[in-house]
A and B are shown apart, each in its own frame.
Chain A
Amino acid sequence: MDLTISEKIIRDHCEQKDLSAGDFVLVKIDKCLGNDITAPKAIEVFEEIVEGTERSVFDPSKIILTPDHFTPNKDIASAIQCKILKDFARKYHIQHYYEVGKVGIEHCLLPEQGLIAPSELIIGADSHTCTYGALGAFSTGVGSTDLGVAMALGECWLQVPETLRFKYTGQLNKWVSGKDLILYTIGKIGVDGATYKVMEFTGEIINNLSMANRFTMCNMAIEAGAKTGFIFPDKITEQYLKSVGISKFKTYENNNTKYHESIEIDCNTIEPQIALPHLPSNTKPISEVQDMHIEIDQAVIGSCTNGRIEDLRIAAKIMKDNKIHPSVRCIIIPGTPTIQFDALKEGLIEIFLKAGAIVSPPTCGPCLGGHMGILAPGERAISTTNRNFMGRMGHKDSEVYLSNPAIAATSALKGFIASPESM
């Protein structure tokens, strides 16, 4: 039996050539990433490690710092956190430090900036680092201490994961997107259904899925506990990479691989999905949820899950010549400045503003209950983000319902959670 693709990538980044799932190894990393929440602690760790030595960072071109969570700085405390990143970036000549105006939500930003290539090994002090599996990289979320050590040594310890293969077959129903496929999958296997494992997404549906939808799916692998998501690079990947300036990259053959388990998902019967409070696995089809007539106070369209231009186009298509429901706040958050600029050029921003929505600068903002749209006790939001844990978007007695952008946009107009079919 051949190694899985993840095992091959790990093997080629460590000294141990004969490895199998379950082994602990030290790997050399290609890139590492931190943000305004996780990097300050990582920087403290880094300074502690190099203290009294002549060491600098392992490679200033391989460290990426994105102050994206609480920016533009929401208060003095977050301003201080961001300043730690900025000072560190200057001191060690970090090449990929992004100031407000250039910064976007990390997992939208890095692929767009051409910083991620297939078969690379990437770690990020952010759980949604698994997003880059959509480009065929092995990339996984770690903690601040891991990042601090990686910035010093260029290394990280990993347990070689087993791989779960998901095969999506059949045809996609109308309005069903990558978001719905991943929500459906998490609903099926549970929030710990893939813990420590790689979720490999395959099948004819995936082969025809756009990059934006692939990013969305890999992004939420962590919501099933997975170490990362993974999609084999193909023509669609190649095209995307070309558009961001990457033409040469390494790929691996995939044959006769030993999977931990293979799960087939028939898409013919899948409707758009809603994850009800307070777990991403608490999913129901939209037809059922619409009948529940769940009124909302806020709709959020954005995040590293669904803040790409394709997502904004869908939302704009639904909102065009319509008005946001009078009792709903609709907050649109383009993932990066480039996405925001594209949305402006395509006239999407005008559609949103005319409809009565507000457009935020690129930021994580309300996704993690940071700023720019916090919920009061008893309030309810529909959101294209990835987590609906208790208190995630504000007060612990508020509620978050997760959906795709089409449903979030429709619900913003109707005032309750509704399918675009109802328009």
Chain B
Amino acid sequence: MKGKVIKYPQENINTDLIIPARYLVDINPQFLAEHCMEDLDMEFHKNKNNLQATILVSGSNFGCGSSREQAPIALKATGIELIIAPSFARIFFRNAINIGLPILQFSDIDAFNSGDLLDIDFGKGVIENITTSKSYSFSKFPAFLQKIIKVHGLINFAREQIANSEEGS
């Protein structure tokens, strides 16, 4: 995939910042997207649109805090297609995989800046920063998680399991 970067290099961006609890009274993705990241940066949407960014780059322990799936849902609904961070908090990690929002663990986030155009090859495990003409390799996802990502999330994964078990019975 190809896309442009919006970067928030802070560490520990938590789920309360991604989507504050006061908006958890509704699960509509568009509603959540409107308020996504507003406690961190009121200008998030404006900045993202100006940059035409679809890749969020952030510091370590991204998504720490609560289990709210509204966090990756909100980000996805704003048009973010990939998150790159040195590490992710574990529930955010599984929520992102489960809803089919790709995330990528990569430690050298200094290699990317807001506005950079990246080309990511998940099969090969390579990120090319087209803006700086540099390439980086990352370790690929374990086979189990690739299976979930391949079917675009856990719902389809579960449906396939049900279909298989019903065929077998």
Binding site for B on A (CB under 8 A): 24, 37-38, 40-41, 44-45, 48-50, 53, 55, 69-70, 75, 77-78, 81, 124-127, 129, 141-146, 148-149, 152-153, 157, 191-192, 195-196, 225, 227, 279, 368-370, 387, 389-392, 396
Contacts and interface: CB of A to CB of B under 8 A. Distances in A.
Contact of A391 (B17, B24, B64, B87): B17
B158 A70 contact: no
A146 B91 CA distance: 10
A73 to B, nearest CB: 10
List of 6 A-B pairs having minimum Cβ-Cβ separation, nearest first: A77-B25, A143-B95, A24-B144, A145-B98, A192-B61, A143-B69
A195 B154 contact: no
B98 A143 contact: yes
B114 interface: no
B142 interface: yes
Interface in B94-112: 94-95, 98-99
Given A49-B155, A49-B162, A192-B60, A227 B21 contact: no
B43 interface: no
Given A192-B60, A225-B64, A145 B162 contact: no
A145 B95 contact: yes
Nearest to A41: B27
A141 B70 CA distance: 15
Most chain A beta-carbon neighbours within 10 Å: one of B69, B73, B155: B69
Given A143-B67, A145-B98, A146-B94, A81 B25 contact: yes
Contact of B68 (A38, A48, A70, A191): A38
A141 B157 CA distance: 20
Given A127-B65, A157-B148, 8 more contacts: A38-B67, A148-B155, A149-B154, A192-B87, A192-B89, A195-B87, A225-B64, A391-B16
A396 B12 CA distance: 16
Contacts of A196: 90
Contact of B16 (A75, A124, A144, A387): A387
A191 B90 contact: no
A143 B92 CA distance: 8
B83 to A, nearest CB: 15
A233 to B, nearest CB: 25
Contacts of B144: 24, 157
